[in-house]
């Protein structure tokens, strides 16, 4: 069958893909193959280096997913593709998203929660309502396309983002943070609403595709903004409810916990998260420094596949030599982690990262991450 115009790129090299698939499976099946895998969490960077814009990446899911496939072959990364953005599932709760030229989609305009009384008026969309909404439609447009034209790359992903950050967006971050102290019941109401909505999104995706990997962030629930007890109360406790309910609805089994930002005071509490046999634990920073691979291995190495965190500022502003040196150190520390290791960035690689810096991560994996 000839590819339609929206496939955008030439066919992916099947030999390369087969090799990458075997390497990708390694950390999860305890049979390391070739070398440490590299996942810089490529999103709009893939569109930009192929001549498209950041805004196009987010507004055209098919293009976004195809460009990640092509870029993964280009850099010798993962055999799976992905497309997602922060602030998902919020349009279903009355927020407006603005797709910007140089930033991921942001919540804009009046927030649905202006005062504490509004929290009771929010309607949680059920699965059938979610299926008619803009977030689900965007994912389906992209995943149906991948399933048809890149079937070997297909892994449907439910992107939870950060439940705490999403609840905060319903009213504004400053107000929400104040309410965690002054009006905690209202914050819990908002958390519950966001959690149930996102869970229904996961169930809807699992219903359509048979399963749905869950990517769950701890972005606002971090040590810069909340005490560890509050990180648990307004972060992890909702993750647990979310994962259990979503799993009951057929989502999973893959879980990727992406703890963005500084988790220096709270990284131990996430041990109590809900785990599936395919869990990845990824912690961004310890203070201002990349989270030490040795500590991730010590605390989480027996529970999950761990992922390293090259500082995203270094990816954007550093030299390839600096990225290579940091990568070498992380790979040497992490490559023998008991349940597998993936070399990554602390968060999504900045869209305008010089390609040479991503190559530096891969080169370090080839030279120091051999199995």
Partner 1 sequence: MVNVVITPTVANLLKERGITEANVKETVDYGESTKDKAVLPAEKLNWAVKRIGAATFAVQYKDSGEVTTAFSYKVALKAITDFVSEDKTDWIYAKTNEQMYRIRADMEYIGVVRAASAWGCKSSPTAFIEEFMAIKTIAIAQMLLEKKKGA
Using CB under 8 A as the criterion, what x/- string covers residues 244-263 for binding partner 1? x--xx-x-xx----------
Q: End-to-end alpha-carbon separation of the chain, Å? A: 38
Residues facing residue 286 across a β-bridge: 289
Contact between 154 and partner 1 by CB under 8 A: the answer reads no
Among 9, 99, 154, 211, binds partner 1 (CB under 8 A): 211
User: How far are the Cα atoms of 36, 294, 305 from residue 336, in angstroms, in the given order?
Assistant: 10, 11, 11
Contact between 22 and partner 1 by CB under 8 A: the answer reads yes
Contact between 143 and partner 1 by CB under 8 A: the answer reads no
CA–CA dist 260, 86 (Å, integer):
12
Contact between 209 and partner 1 by CB under 8 A: the answer reads no
- Indicate the residue among 84 and 274 with the shorter CB distance to partner 1: 274
Per CB under 8 A, the segment of 26-34, 64-72, 313-321, 355-363 that binds partner 1 is 26-34
Per CB under 8 A, the segment of 45-53, 114-122, 190-198, 273-281 that binds partner 1 is 273-281
User: How far are the Cα atoms of 61, 194, 267, 279, 365 from residue 213, in angstroms, in the given order?
Assistant: 18, 19, 23, 10, 25
- Indicate the residue among 184 and 250 with the shorter CB distance to partner 1: 250
Among 303, 333, 359, 366, binds partner 1 (CB under 8 A): 303
Per CB under 8 A, the segment of 7-15, 80-88, 135-143, 300-308 that binds partner 1 is 300-308
Contact between 205 and partner 1 by CB under 8 A: the answer reads no
Say if residues 202 and 251 touch (Cβ distance below 8 Å): yes
Among 4, 30, 287, 356, binds partner 1 (CB under 8 A): 30
With CB under 8 A, what is the number of residues at the site for partner 1?
28
User: How far are the Cα atoms of 46, 133, 135 from residue 83, in angstroms, in the given order?
Assistant: 10, 17, 12
Torsion of CA 171, 111, 259, 153, to 10 degrees: 160
Backbone angles phi, psi at 76, to 5 degrees: 65, 55
Where is 37: in which H helix or E strand? Answer: strand 37-39
Q: Which of 19, 34, 4, 38 minimizes the C-alpha distance to 344?
A: 38
Say if residues 275 and 308 touch (Cβ distance below 8 Å): no
Contact between 29 and partner 1 by CB under 8 A: the answer reads yes
Contact between 299 and partner 1 by CB under 8 A: the answer reads no
Among 9, 52, 154, 275, binds partner 1 (CB under 8 A): 275
Contact between 228 and partner 1 by CB under 8 A: the answer reads no
Say if residues 53 and 101 touch (Cβ distance below 8 Å): yes
Among 123, 182, 271, 298, binds partner 1 (CB under 8 A): 271
Contact between 279 and partner 1 by CB under 8 A: the answer reads yes
Where is 97: in which H helix or E strand? Answer: strand 96-98
Contact between 74 and partner 1 by CB under 8 A: the answer reads no
Q: Please report how the helices 14-29 and 61-75 are oriented relative to each other, as an axis angle in degrees rounded to 10.
A: 90
Per CB under 8 A, the segment of 3-11, 24-32, 170-178, 182-190 that binds partner 1 is 24-32
Tell me how far, at minimum, the Cβ of 13 lies from partner 1, in Å. 17
The residue ranges that bind partner 1 (CB under 8 A) are 21-22, 25, 28-31, 210-211, 240, 244, 247-248, 250, 252-253, 271-272, 274-279, 302-304, 339
């Amino acid at each position: 069958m000839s590819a339609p115009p929206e496939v955008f790129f030439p066919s992916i090299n099947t030999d390369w893909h087969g090799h990458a698939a075997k390497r990708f499976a390694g950390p999860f099946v305890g049979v390391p193959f070739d070398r440490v895998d590299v996942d810089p969490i490529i999103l709009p960077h893939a569109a930009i280096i192929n001549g498209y814009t950041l805004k196009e990446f987010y507004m055209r899911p098919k293009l976004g997913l195809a460009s990640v496939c092509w870029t993964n072959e280009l850099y010798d990364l993962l055999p799976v593709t992905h497309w997602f953005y922060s602030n998902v599932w919020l349009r279903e709760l009355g927020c407006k998203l603005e797709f910007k030229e140089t930033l991921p989609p942001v919540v804009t305009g009046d927030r649905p929660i202006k005062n504490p009384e509004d929290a009771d008026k929010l309607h949680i969309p059920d699965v059938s309502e979610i299926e008619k909404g803009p977030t689900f439609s965007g994912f389906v447009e992209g995943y149906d396309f991948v399933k048809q034209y890149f079937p070997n790359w297909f892994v449907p992903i439910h992107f939870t983002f950060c439940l705490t950050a999403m609840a905060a967006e319903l009213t504004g971050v400053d107000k929400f943070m104040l309410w965690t102290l002054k009006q905690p019941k209202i914050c819990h109401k908002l958390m519950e609403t966001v959690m149930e909505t996102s869970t229904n999104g996961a169930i809807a995706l699992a219903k359509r595709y048979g399963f749905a990997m869950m990517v769950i962030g701890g972005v606002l629930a971090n040590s810069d903004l909340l005490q560890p007890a509050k990180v648990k109360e307004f972060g992890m406790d909702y993750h647990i409810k979310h994962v259990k309910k979503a799993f009951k609805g057929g989502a999973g089994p893959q879980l990727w916990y992406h703890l963005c930002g500084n988790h220096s005071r709270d990284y131990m509490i996430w041990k109590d998260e809900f785990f599936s046999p395919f869990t990845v634990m990824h912690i961004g920073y310890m203070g201002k420094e990349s989270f030490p691979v040795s500590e991730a291995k010590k605390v989480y190495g027996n529970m999950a596949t761990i992922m390293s965190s090259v500082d995203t500022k270094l990816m954007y502003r550093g030299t390839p030599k600096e990225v290579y040196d940091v990568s070498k150190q992380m790979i040497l520390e992490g490559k023998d982690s008991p349940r597998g290791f993936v070399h990554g960035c602390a968060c999504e690689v900045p869209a305008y990262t010089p390609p040479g810096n991503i190559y530096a991560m891969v080169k370090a994996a080839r030279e120091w991450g051999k199995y």
